[in-house]
Homo-oligomer: A and B are copies of this chain.
Amino acid sequence: MIDKQSPIPIYHQLEEYVKHLIENGILKPDEAIPSEREYAEQYQISRMTVRQALNNLVSDGYLYRQKGRGTFVNKQKVEQKLQGLTSFTEDMKERGMEPSSRLISFEIIPAEQQLARKLGIKENTPIYEIKRVRLADNVPMALETTYLPANLVKGLTDEIINKSLYQYIEEKLALTISEATQQIEASIAKEIEVKHLQVEQGSPVLLIVRTSFLQDGTPFELVKSAYRADRYKFVHTMQRATK
């Protein structure tokens, strides 16, 4: 199991071995693993070397320690999943629904001041504005408006939009979205939302404004969505920063 002659560091070998046991369910969640001294004894290695291996697994979230008790296996992270940064399409599929779209409008307009600022471009720079009703299992779920700087995303057609905009962006344009910020607020459906979402006047809606950034930090798109509050909850998971 542990080869002291190998050029691969011992701590790394042990690390991979224990990780393997966890990922294959041989060590179960909340089960105590052998103590540091046991590992050291069994493989005839130093306890500090064992600690180096286990510490790495702790910081990777595979294990947790309890002083005086032992070291235990963590529950398999439900999902490393895309921490919320998903497209509508991905999001709905995740929820077991069938996503679709209905294009309302698609045009090139000059960016008004606020929009220009958020997209990091000059005022009146041409941008695409795409308005769509987003459906899940053929029921209106959200009214979505996407803004894209025209210079970054050239040659957009309504055909592309109807297929997969994100796929086009990632594969054809070779642009990678690495980060996004979202603002989420509650509001009352405006007239256009009442109409397209088929809700009563005075109904609540969840407004989500997302700005996405490329790897170099360039703002890339801005999406404003109004979700039917009776059909959609925004769900996400967060980790606490290790102070």
Q: Which residues of A contact B (CB under 8 A)?
A: 29-30, 48, 59-60, 64, 66, 72, 74-75, 80-85, 176-188, 202, 204-207, 215-217, 227, 229, 232-242
Would B182 and A64 count as touching, CB distance under 8 A? no
Find the B residue at minimum CB distance from A80.
B241
Bound-complex Cα distance A159 to B176 (A): 50
Would A181 and B82 count as touching, CB distance under 8 A? no
Would A182 and B229 count as touching, CB distance under 8 A? no
Would B234 and A81 count as touching, CB distance under 8 A? no
Bound-complex Cα distance A240 to B84 (A): 8
Identify which of B72, B180, B204 contacts A186 (C-beta below 8 A).
B204
What is the CB-to-nearest-CB distance from A179 to chain B, in angstroms, rounded to a whole number? 5
Find the B residue at minimum CB distance from A85.
B238
Bound-complex Cα distance A166 to B229 (A): 31
Residues of B within 8 A of A241 (CB): 80-83, 85
Would A216 and B83 count as touching, CB distance under 8 A? no
